[in-house]
Amino acid sequence: FGTLHLSMEENYVRHVELLGFEKRSYPSQHYVYMLMVKWSDLSEKVIYRTYPEIYTFHKSLKEMFPIESGEIEKKDRIIPKLPAPRWLISEKSPETRQITLAEYCHSLVNLPPHISRSRHLADFLAVRPEDENPAAPNALKKNETFVVSTELARGNVSVISGPIILDTYRVIADFEKTSKHEINLQTGDLVEIVEKNQNGWWFCQYESKRGWIPASYLEPLDGPEEAEEDEPNYEGERFVTARAYTAEQEDEISLELGETITVIHKLLDGWWVVRKGEETGHFPSMFLHKAGTREIYDADRTKPQGQKLPPRRSTIRNAKSIHNKSRQRLSQDSYRRNSRRYLQQRAGRPAEPSGGPRSAAKSPMRERKNQDNIPETSGSESETGKEVPVVPARPSPELILQRCSDNTCKRVSTRGSSS
| Other Cβ atoms closer than 10 A to 10 | 10
Of 241, 254, 312, 308, the closest CA to residue 281 belongs to: 254
Q: Check whether 297 has a pLDDT greater than 50.
A: no
Report the mean per-residue pLDDT for the chain. Answer: 74
Mean predicted confidence (pLDDT) in 277-299? 76
- Determine the pLDDT at residue 64: 93
Pairwise CA distance, residues 67 & 61, whole Å: 11
Domain extents for the chain? 2-154, 237-320
CA-closest candidate to residue 264, choices 212, 339, 153: 339
CA dist 102 and 81 (Å) reads: 12
Is pLDDT above 80 for 287? yes
Q: How confident is the model at residue 349 (pLDDT cuts 50, 70, 90)?
A: low
Residue 316's pLDDT band (cuts 50, 70, 90): confident
**203 phi, psi to nearest 5 deg:** -95, 125
Lowest mean pLDDT among 6-10, 37-41, 200-204, 312-316: 6-10
pLDDT at position 357 over 50: no
Q: How far apart are CA 150 and CA 156, in angstroms?
A: 9
Report the CATH number of the 237-320 domain.
2.30.30.40
DSSP 333-372: HHHHHHHHHHHHHHTTPPPPPTTSGGGGS--TTPPGGGTT
Beta carbons of 242 and 289 less than 8 angstroms apart: yes
Query: Does residue 387 or residue 69 have the better pLDDT?
Result: 69
Give me the pLDDT at residue 256, please. 93
Specify the 3-state DSSP secondary structure of 114: helix
Helix (H) or strand (E) holding 22: strand 13-24
Per the CB < 8 A criterion, the answer to whether 339 and 372 are in contact is: no
CA distance 377 to 370: 12
H or E segment and range at residue 314 = none
Answer whether residue 3 shows pLDDT above 50: no
Where is average pLDDT lowest: 51-65, 79-93, 236-250? 79-93
Amino acid at 390: V
The pLDDT value recorded for residue 112 is 94
14-72 pLDDT, tens digit per residue, is 999 888 878 777 766 677 888 999 999 989 999 998 887 888 899 899 999 999 999 88
Q: Is the pTM of this model over 0.95?
A: no
79 within 8 A of 89, measured Cβ to Cβ:
no
- 10 versus 55: the higher-pLDDT residue is 55
- Residue 54 is given by DSSP the state H
CATH architecture of 2-154: 2-Layer Sandwich (3.30)
Q: pLDDT band for position 2 (50/70/90)?
A: very low
Q: Tell me the residue type at 236.
A: G
Cα–Cα distance measured from residue 236 to residue 215, given in angstroms and rounded to the nearest whole number: 23
pLDDT confidence of 384, banded at 50, 70, 90? very low
The per-residue pLDDT for range 131-180, each reduced to its tens digit, is 888 765 554 455 655 553 434 333 443 333 334 556 788 999 999 998 88
Describe the chain by its helix, strand, coil percentages, rounded to 5: 30, 20, 50
Phi, psi at residue 230, to the nearest 5°?
Answer: -70, 155
If you ran DSSP here, which 8-state letter would residue 384 be given?
A: T
Q: Would you state the torsion angle of the CA atoms of residues 412, 413, 418, 419, taken in this order, to the nearest 10 degrees? A: 60
pLDDT at 284: 94
Average pLDDT in the 341-365 region? 58
Stronger pLDDT, 262 or 27, i.e. the higher one: 262
DSSP for 204-263, please give it: EEETTEEEEEEGGGEEESSS-GGGGSPPP-SS-EEEEESS-B---STTB--B-TT-EEEE
Section 99-108 average pLDDT: 85
Closest CA to 217 of 263, 182, 249: 182
| Parallel/antiparallel/unpaired status of strands 260-265 and 218-220 | unpaired
Angle at 81 between CA 77 and CA 85, to 5 degrees: 150
